[in-house]
Structure 1
């Protein structure tokens, strides 16, 4: 088969479409013939040599895909050759085929094509596990989602609104904030010229955000704690603003706040399967009834993976950038 390889870490042109050995499904895995995959910032880090795949995972980038089951490995039940699926991956989505643990498969939602389906697994699993399974966002509460126009942000807005929460977002342009508003965001903050702490507290009558979904890490740690409501929960899922910061424990204690930090890629198979099962139960019905939808900015052929990386690196997109095989 062919796959996007990274012979040497570097810029977007380090991505090389090359012939590689076909994957073989192991016990409990299925072989998926990939139709589409989507670009995540983790892929950019892997290309640069900063984010190696977990032990045993495919060496090729790509944390999600959509396609059809080509073969079943030993011990797999509940799926059949030819089923249309999308999948959460530890790697290998930028390829013509990938072996996937059966617990990380999802059926393609009714009414969606392969491009839209490929844009779902990573964002739905990330948002549902952090905002709902860990931070327990409830109806009537306020969620602050940083990077509201990203793939994660556009999904967080929709899922929070679907459960009856209020949503605040940050983004870097009026156009991106307008797209967030179209998806249901209530409080719009341009981080280039507005203080999100002040804006969120003002919009909530001084209370603050009950849950914050953060992609920035160190740079936003102190202001995030300031923006938290009493009993607020801060979920950190990215380190775009650095990995080390000083935490004012006194401020956190006064608010009875909680800080969690998680990644998805390296979790044990059983944990990922539990998240995928929860997404299928709670999120898939919202997608199939039209309440929630994947936001696809554009679709490019796999041969243009380098250009897709440039687009995501420049943050010139809204939602997900999808690659087709």
Structure 2
């Protein structure tokens, strides 16, 4: 066991329930490493968990925080690819808002040269989500057209940048001119301002009525029928967030007529084996882009971990572009 400091929720509720206090980290397993955390990414699921609206998987640590950047302090007896002192960024099942956390060896990635800890902490959750749910469940293929609904958030921004860098034709949605400009700087062919434009009419006009092959939906809720109408034959709608609610009406006829697929996925609930497959894709395809300087960190703001309440307030305000990060070390 390892004595540490971390954020603990004193009950369910607003940001005020989060407290910085002493915690105990369990012993590492044979294929795990203990990481001294220097920075941790903030994700919307952290806010939902704090509110009691997202069930923690039974085998996951109960603490908040799904991605970290830091330094390896201890290695399990079977760890072969990492050494004490290595700088890594990693995906965790929980407990990242702390000075120390445990990471599976295969879910650790090299901390990019020249990047700060805060910059490195923006990547694991976003990239793993894209690899597992975009290229994995969504089966995005070369030459396909992709729409990202919610393109200015931490994961949506990263998905837009990576897909555009890989040569995909990407459309996004966002609210307000600041976010629209942000998405277009990341490489979106067009970012539709949902505050002033009719999303689905614009999308069909943009594609000459043929629609897109894949929709990555970080928003959920309303307009399910319109999303399906925007898909081409054989298209896939991948739902990864429910910011606008969990209920919507659907015309099932269009599913049959166009042979469409609807997938609902969350990264945290995936098995370790599925996460490791996504991690392999990340290493082979995306890490080289980072090392070449073609994928850049997308940091909205950085807060000391003792100001985690302010970080969650910014997340819930919806004003951010890119990733909100906590500085720990």
The answer to whether 1:318 aligns with 2:321 is yes
Q: Distance in 2 between matches of 1:269 and 1:306?
A: 30
The within-5 A match list for 1:254-273 is 254-273=257-276
After TM superposition, the structure 1 = structure 2 runs for residues 72-151 of structure 1, keeping only pairs within 5 Å, are 72-151=75-154
Determine the structure 1 residue equivalent to 2:195.
192
Q: Is 2:35–2:70's contact at 8 Å kept on the other side of the alignment?
A: yes
Q: 1:7 aligns with which of 2, 10, 14?
A: 10
Q: Deviations over 1:14-56 (max 9, x none)?
A: 1100011233212321101000001000000111112232123
Q: Which residue of 2 aligns with 1:274?
A: 277
**CA offsets, 1:153-200, max 9 Å, x none?**
111111211222111111010110001111111122111232211111
On the 8 A contact 2:214/2:237 being kept in 1, the answer is yes
The alignment's C-alpha RMSD in Å is: 1.3
- 1:237 equivalent in structure 2: 240
Matched, 1:213 2:216: yes
TM-score by length of 1: 0.96
Q: Which residue of 1 aligns with 2:155?
A: 152
Deviation at 1:299, TM superposition (A): 0.9
Matched residues in 2 for 1:294 and 1:213: separation? 21
- The DSSP-based 3-state class of the residue aligned with 1:225 is helix
Q: Does the aligned pair in 2 maintain the 1:138–1:164 contact within 8 Å?
A: no
1:62 counterpart residue number: 65
Unmatched 5+ stretches in structure 2: none
Q: How does 1:239-254 map to 2 (within 5 A)?
A: 239-254=242-257
Distance in 1 between residues matched to 2:161 and 2:193, nearest whole Å: 19
Query: Where does the alignment leave 5 or more consecutive residues of structure 1 unmatched?
Result: none
Q: Are the aligned partners of 1:69 and 1:83 in contact in 2 as well (CA < 8 Å)?
A: yes
Q: 1:181 to 1:134 in 2, by over 3 A?
A: same
1:304 counterpart SS class? helix
In structure 2, distance between residues paired with 1:113 and 1:158? 19
Q: Is the 8 A contact 1:147 1:169 kept in 2?
A: yes
1:44 to 2:67 alignment: no
Contact 1:137–1:165 (8 Å) recurs in 2: no
**Is the contact between residue 15 and residue 309 of structure 2 (CA under 8 Å) also seen in structure 1?**
yes
Larger deviation: 147-156 or 171-180? 147-156
> Are the counterparts in 1 of residues 75 and 83 from structure 2 also a CA contact under 8 Å?
yes
* Residues in 1 aligned to 2:235 and 2:58: alpha-carbon distance in whole angstroms: 35
User: Is the partner of 2:282 in helix, strand or coil?
Assistant: helix
Determine if the alignment matches structure 1 residue 35 to structure 2 residue 38: yes
2:230 alignment partner in structure 1:
227
Partner of 2:222: helix, strand, or coil? helix
2:132/2:267 contact within 8 Å kept = no
Q: Of residues 168, 171, 191 in structure 2, which corresponds to 1:168? A: 171
Moved over 3 A (4+): none
Residue aligned with 2:277, SS: helix
- SS of equivalent residue, structure 2 residue 223: helix
- Distance in 2 between residues matched to 1:290 and 1:199, nearest whole Å: 33
Separation of aligned partners in 2, 1:143 and 1:190? 17
The answer for the alignment partner of 2:296 in structure 1 is 293
* Corresponding pairs, count: 325
CA shift digits 1:269-322 (9 cap, x unpaired)? 111111112111111111111111220011110001000000010011100001
